Structure 1
């Protein structure tokens, strides 16, 4: 047996297997959805229409409408998230699931979030890993079943060193693991950007970050997650084109996602939860009842 075979970590093998299954499942799901949409063209008139809780078709805008929140200052945002977390802590909804991160999480349309869960969105536009680390205590009193974390792209845009980003991620993982010992903590990979096709107002800053650097950073995040006993959801390959950039059909400006992008993310969350999280959650729930 070769040296490389001996040193290949077992967690990496299972991670590759899980993410490979996830990638295939999402691709098949999207392909099937496109076929159904084409076949039932007279019933489903556009991709904006989806069925939410059997309540009929709901229109999802190309760019999510944040309403008043879009004009809030950072501190005002934090104050609102505190209030929402307090409500969740007091009411203790079943199957509480938290989204923690930046604008990508913030703009996730509630209509597109996987069903069967009570979602608490703790995203803030422009958030960095340091900022998220500082405000994790906001939802200390909640009792989440799962916490999904995606953070880092704003760090890169601001020129923060990879070592600092990784250190902040380690602290985020350690904090969440300590404060929420029964919750499944899932770190999600940083998404690629649109490269030369990006139209975001900070395009020059995006172009200064290579998607290869983001990919390598994700590989390091995956390794750290395994060592910290935290799960890692690699969304990166679901969103890249043949050049390794964010696919145009999934983005509004090369940085943020449109409805199609969120449908892909939703599918990944749903499939990953069914494959990777449900057995763990059921095991923990069964242990708690003993």
Structure 2
């Protein structure tokens, strides 16, 4: 007689064994084929992000001096460049030099006029201010001294010019001047003292002596011993103007990037 219980038990054991095998197999974690890809993608993303950040930094550095910048060169024949070619006067050389330094969108306006006195300069301020300069390099007074004009009058005119420029939003750099001793030591001393005094009182940047390193040197001046040659202007630009001008440009750049505190910030409830 067949033992039914024994007969049925064998298939049940096999079935149970298969079930266990399938369960165990099903519980095992399948290899994550995407894990390596995810890791690679993460590394790739981080690398791309780093490259993007570096590119942005480079772009920012390259665009650092891209804001439009207008510099007004205001003065007499020393500014105009009497006796030299148009590309040799100091405003032309200054613009070229600034562009070499990365200030691509810069314009230096030559508003020098031969024979200009401080009174004449004040009278044409309305005209020159149409250029809307960010910075003005003001160099005037030498022709006043040649004419022996009273020092107090020269100083008053320079102060008027500085204030008008400042009121119109222009940062002023004042070019200091010195004259020969043929007008007497008192006049010479009083005249030279105008520039540092005005600079201090009116909070403007001073070039102590605009012709420093050039004035009185026959090799760097034309036959009249007054007006610089092209080489003389190159020294004036590189040694006298740029060391004073570049910090002023940097201030303008920083101020333009600073967030405004006058506009209220909207708060989300």
Query: Over alpha carbons, which structure has the higher Rg?
Result: 2
Q: Structure 1 CA distance, aligned partners of 2:149 and 2:176? A: 17
- Alignment partner of 1:189 is 2:176: yes
What is the CA-CA distance between 1:280 and the residue it aligns to? 1.8
What is the CA-CA distance between 1:284 and the residue it aligns to? 2.4
Q: Structure 1 CA distance, aligned partners of 2:227 and 2:158? A: 22
Q: Structure 2 CA distance, aligned partners of 1:94 and 1:256? A: 31
Q: Please show how residues 244-259 of structure 1 align to structure 2 within 5 Å.
A: 246-252=216-222, 253-259=224-230
Summarize the Cα distance change of 1:172–1:288 in structure 2 as closer, same or farther, 3 Å threshold: farther
Mapped contact 2:79–2:90 kept (Cα < 8 A): no
Q: Please show how residues 88-99 of structure 1 align to structure 2 within 5 Å.
A: 94-99=68-73
Q: Structure 1 CA distance, aligned partners of 2:152 and 2:193? A: 13
| Higher relative contact order (CA closer than 8 Å, sequence separation 6+) | 1
Counterpart residue number, 1:164: 153
Q: Structure 2 CA distance, aligned partners of 1:208 and 1:169? A: 23
Residues 229-288 of structure 1: CA deviation (Å, up to 9, x unaligned): 221111357236xxxx622222112111111210111112222222x3133212321247
Mapped contact 2:151–2:190 kept (Cα < 8 A): no
Summarize the Cα distance change of 1:236–1:143 in structure 2 as closer, same or farther, 3 Å threshold: closer
- Structure 2, gaps ≥5 residues long: 1-66, 82-88, 262-269
What is the CA-CA distance between 1:155 and the residue it aligns to? 0.6
Q: Structure 1 CA distance, aligned partners of 2:72 and 2:193? A: 24
Counterpart residue number, 1:133: 122
Q: Report the 3-state secondary structure (helix = DSSP H, G, I; strand = E; otherwise coil) of the residue aligned with 1:156.
A: helix
Summarize the Cα distance change of 1:272–1:141 in structure 2 as closer, same or farther, 3 Å threshold: same
Q: Please show how residues 1-290 of structure 1 align to structure 2 within 5 Å.
A: 94-107=68-81, 108=89, 111-113=92-94, 114-115=97-98, 116=103, 117-180=106-169, 183-192=170-179, 208-209=182-183, 213-214=187-188, 216-236=190-210, 238-239=212-213, 246-252=216-222, 253-267=224-238, 268-274=240-246, 276-287=247-258
What is the CA-CA distance between 1:110 and the residue it aligns to? 5.4
Provide TM-score, normalisation by structure 2: 0.59
What is the CA-CA distance between 1:208 and the residue it aligns to? 3.0
Summarize the Cα distance change of 1:238–1:112 in structure 2 as closer, same or farther, 3 Å threshold: same
Q: Report the 3-state secondary structure (helix = DSSP H, G, I; strand = E; otherwise coil) of the residue aligned with 1:176.
A: helix
Q: Structure 2 CA distance, aligned partners of 1:288 and 1:179? A: 22
CA RMSD of aligned residues (A): 2.5
Q: Structure 2 CA distance, aligned partners of 1:250 and 1:265? A: 10
Residues 160-216 of structure 1: CA deviation (Å, up to 9, x unaligned): 011111111111111111122xx21111011545xxxxxxxxxxxxx6335884464
- Structure 1, gaps ≥5 residues long: 1-92, 194-206
Summarize the Cα distance change of 1:110–1:283 in structure 2 as closer, same or farther, 3 Å threshold: closer
Mapped contact 1:190–1:218 kept (Cα < 8 A): yes
Summarize the Cα distance change of 1:185–1:111 in structure 2 as closer, same or farther, 3 Å threshold: closer
Q: Structure 2 CA distance, aligned partners of 1:141 and 1:237? A: 28
Counterpart residue number, 1:76: none
Q: Structure 1 CA distance, aligned partners of 2:168 and 2:126? A: 9
Counterpart residue number, 1:62: none
Summarize the Cα distance change of 1:168–1:110 in structure 2 as closer, same or farther, 3 Å threshold: closer
